[in-house]
Amino acid sequence: MSKSQLPLTVKLTLPTGVTYEQPVGLFINNEFVYPKQKKTFEVVSPSTEEVITEVYEALQEDVETAVVAAEEAYKSSWSTGPPTVRMSVLLKLADLIEADAEIIAAIESYDNGKSLQNARGDVALTAAYFRSCAGWADKFMGTVIETGDTHFNYTRREPIGVCGQIIPWNFPLLMASWKLGPVIATGCTTVLKTAESTPLSALYLATLLVKAGLPKGAVNIISGFGPTAGSAIASHPRINKVAFTGSTATGRIIMKAAADSNLKKVTLELGGKSPNIVFNDADLDQTIGHLITAIFYNSGEVCCAGSRVLIQSGIYDEVVKKFKVAAESVKTGNPFEESTFMGAQASEIQLSKILKYIELGKKQGATVVTGGERCAGKGYFVKPTIFADVHRDMDIVKDEIFGPVVTLIKFDTVDEAVALANDTEYGLAAGIHSTDVNKVLSVSSRIKAGTIWVNTYNDFHPMVPFGGYGASGIGREMGEEVFHEYTQVKAVRLHINKPTV
């Protein structure tokens, strides 16, 4: 398609049969605009391997335009006016998302490859999170500090200013909400870059931001690639904070760019290789379902996926048998069939990476319990894969695969389970399955991870903070903690002259 032929919005028909208007331009100052060079790139549907559309690509000069818009918006009453205005925008946005829930879920599934039922869950969580952020908008309190009668001391919490945000391709809509919710609630402004392989839902979300009453320039959404647009955001001298969700390797690059530019504040939600521990006293019928959710939800493309299942020796054989049966019952295929749980991998690159690791596991001596191959036919589909007979030096045990591949490891004692769980550079999440509350509390305190799920997994709530230890990142998303990432504390100390009369 030539540059002159591609408008700023295109009419698309989703696999559900619904036709809608899809924005493809850059969203700057509450309107869709052309980039300076009018370059485009293709967006491919992972389930069909066919091009959905093209979208316009932002380059460094377009990032600059978006930053200028964000700066002007921040100087307005948006950052200093009544917080109820920001609250109102977030509440209206949540209502609009719910009104368009089926369209948005279908866009997400079409663009990302995830099953429609998983995409619907993302939409529901997105609306819930925006509502949660609305509730926080008027609750950023300072304190009065008592130091004696010679001074009056107080603190206030102020928005950090213009932000840069870079989201991943595995949860495009939900990760956009995790970034935009705190920005809007605190009165910051932002330039958000979508993942190049999955830009469509965030661009559609932009249309709802306008309808919700967001002022011009407060949120700017651009599509582009990491080495160009992403780099321009991370190194921009007038962006005060950058938030990134993605790989640990890219996180290191962003952190260095932030330091080398203006020492901007950084939050990083990065990779994981999370342990999922099953003790002898676990409720197995319940636990097997959570093991399935932990690794096969969202086609395994989850940073906190429970990809290392540690099983106590007394129930190891039983768990392997039941887990195999459950995995083989997971319906994989057309994401738009209502019964499909596991859709396609998000891209051909990701598919190739997963298949490479599966072959490495086989070559290094691991036993394929089930799966271990690509599904036949069109689309980037992989069978749910379970490996047994693994050891800690295998690549499939050490590396983040980011796909529906899980390893099973046997242990005998609690101490051994904790040691195995912590035998990783990552520390994003962990699961514990046990009916012994004393054991659960003890093990939870000993595992080095930012989130511990007990007798559940991938169980998110807007009020519960999420983030990692070690190579899994810096800072937190959601909960009260996230608002500390978008605000800064100012202390005021006023000397008091004692009256003489």
Among 57, 269, 400, 485, which one carries the catalytic annotation?
A: 269
CB 287 within 8 A of CB 320: no
What span, in angstroms and rounded, lies between the C-alpha atoms of 218 and 200?
A: 20
Closest CA to 224 of 34, 33, 5, 41: 41
- Note whether 450 and 472 are within 8 A (CB): yes
Q: Which two tokens stand for residue 270?
A: 């990065």
Which stretches of 354-446 are assigned E, i.e. beta strand? 367-370, 385-388, 405-411, 426-427, 429-433
Residues with Cβ < 8 Å from 405, sequence gap 6 or more?
295, 300, 307, 354, 357, 358, 361, 371, 382, 385, 387, 396
Contact 488, 158 (CB under 8 A): yes
CA distances from residue 426 to 283, 429, 449, 465, 474 in whole angstroms, order as listed: 28, 9, 8, 17, 12
Strand partners, 278: 311, 433
- CB-count burial class (<10 Å; 0-12, 13-18, 19+) for 68: middle
Q: Which residues have a Cβ under 8 Å from the Cβ of 428 and sit 6 or more positions away?
A: 270, 271, 272, 274, 303, 304, 449, 450, 451, 467, 468, 469, 472, 473
> Which class for 25: exposed (0-12), middle (13-18), buried (19 or more C-beta within 10 A)?
buried
The answer to whether 384 touches 244, Cβ cutoff 8 Å, is no
Residue 269 annotated among the catalytic residues of the structure: yes
Nearest of 170, 202, 178 to residue 129 by alpha carbon = 178
Task: Tell me the C-alpha distance between 122 and 129, whole Å.
Answer: 10
| Segment (H or E) for 27 | strand 26-28
Q: Is the dihedral of CA 377, 382, 385, 391 positive or negative?
A: positive
- CA-CA distance, 292 to 107, in Å (whole number)? 25
Residues labelled catalytic = 269
